[in-house]
Structure 1
Amino acid sequence: MTNVTFPRLLLAATLTAAGLLTSGCAGYRESRGYILDEQLASAVQVGTDNKTSVEKTLGRPTFTGQFNDNEWYYVSRNTSTLAFRDPKVTEQTVLRVRFDAAGNVTSVDRTGKDQIASIDPYGRTTPTLGRRKSFFEEFFGNIGTVGGVGAPGAGQGQ
């Protein structure tokens, strides 16, 4: 009788261990940024709305243009991740509202996931122009230069 229960016990323990191991690989979804309401976004009209009315309708933007304060961006992004992998973008919406100098809406543009750019860094180090120095040249290169005569920060001649 003990020979029949041992394989069942072993099978139950194996299934339990496999279930615990695969539960760590569960995926999850995440939403970041502005939650875009289609009705509110379509309510913003070119020529009739201004910065104040857009802020009352859509709220404060996710960010404004870096070189031009008359561009407002509302960014929404949904991602999914499996276990320890990098998150993958499943959906993204960027709503850009442009204003003229008087603060009136001149255009409302919408882009999606197709505008995402994948950037791969060049190797593990950043290439620089100029001479490459060895470790010892970098480490011992400043000996005698700090506080020397004629160097910035040096005392008056002694």
Structure 2
Amino acid sequence: MRLTKLPKSLLFCAILALPGCAVFSDSPHYRGIAVTASELKQLTPGVSQQADVQSLLGPPTFVEQFNPNNWVYVAQVTRMRIARTEGVSSQDVVVVSFNSNGTYKSYTENTLANALPVKMDGKETPVPGGTAGFFQQLIGGVGSYNPLGVTGNNSALGGTSGNIGSGGSGSGF
């Protein structure tokens, strides 16, 4: 008799735990402008102009700062990972190049597979005044709350131009 109750209880626990699995899976987030190969085939080198490219592909994600003749289209698919950090699942970068007259010259494609890894420096940026301890962080913002976002002279609101505790006469506290 115990054997027949055990599978039912396991099934019941599995059904209860199933909705919790949605916490670990997240739908992908699509960002940027995805440029397809068929769209790139419609561009003719030496004939197509910047206006043609923009009407076909849309505005670029960004224009290169040091070479404004290169338009960059970036498309990413990201997913949430552990601890609610976002990770890039796939990335496509298309660089459309123009000559100095604004005529389409060529394009290059890059993916996440041929991206260069950039290692971030693990050091902290030095902050003047040293580091704040636990209690400084805990009570450091006391007195700086400003619910109305008003700075400077707030005499129209019945206050003074100073901060709370500045010794002003009309603080209303």
Q: Determine if the TM-score, normalized by the shorter chain, exceeds 0.5.
A: yes
> For the structure 1 residues 26 and 114, does the alpha-carbon distance in structure 2 shift closer, same or farther, using more than 3 Å as the test?
closer
Name which structure has the greater RCO, CA cutoff 8 Å, separation 6+: 1
Which residue identity is paired with 1:110?
E
**What does residue 165 of structure 2 align with?**
none
User: Where do 5+ consecutive residues of structure 1 fail to align?
Assistant: 137-158
Aligned to 1:109: 108
Alpha-carbon distance in structure 2 between the residues aligned to 1:85 and 1:135: 30
How far 1:83 sits from its partner (Å)?
A: 5.3
In the aligned structure 1, how far is the partner of 2:17 from the partner of 2:38?
A: 47
Distance 1:64 1:133, change over 3 A: closer
Deviation at 1:9, TM superposition (A): 6.7
User: When the two structures are aligned, how many residues end up with a matched partner?
Assistant: 131
**Alpha-carbon spacing, 1:107–1:23, altered in 2? closer, same or farther (3 Å):** closer
The aligned amino acid for 1:49 is: S
Deviation at 1:115, TM superposition (A): 3.4
Scaled by the length of structure 2, the TM-score of the pair is 0.59
1:149 aligned partner: none
Identify the residue that residue 21 of structure 1 maps to in structure 2.
20
Cα shift readout 1:25-84 (whole Å, capped 9, x = no counterpart):
123222110022321112112211121221122221111111222111111122344554
Tell me the TM-score normalised to structure 1 length. Answer: 0.64
Q: Which residue of 2 aligns with 1:98?
A: 97
Q: Distance in 1 between matches of 2:108 and 2:128?
A: 50
Two-structure CA RMSD over aligned residues (Å): 3.1
Change (3 A) 1:53 1:135: closer
Letter in 2 for 1:92: Q
* TM-aligned CA deviation for residue 96 of structure 1: 0.9
Secondary structure in 1 aligned to 2:17? helix
Instruction: Give the partner amino acid of 2:26.
Output: G
Looking at structure 2, the residues matched to 5 and 115 of structure 1 have their Cα atoms a distance apart, in angstroms, of: 56
CA contact (8 A) 1:46 1:107 kept: yes
* Maintained 8 Å contact 1:27/1:83: no
Q: Are residues 23 and 99 of structure 1, via their aligned partners in 2, closer, same or farther at CA, if it must alter by over 3 Å?
A: closer
Contact 1:24 1:83 survives alignment (8 Å): no
1:1-158 matches, within 5 Å, as 7=6, 10-82=9-81, 84=83, 86-126=85-125, 135=130
Residues 75, 135 of structure 1: CA spacing in aligned structure 2 closer, same or farther, 3 A cutoff? closer
Q: Which residue identity does 1:135 align to in structure 2?
A: G
Structure 2: segments with no counterpart, 5+ residues: 132-173
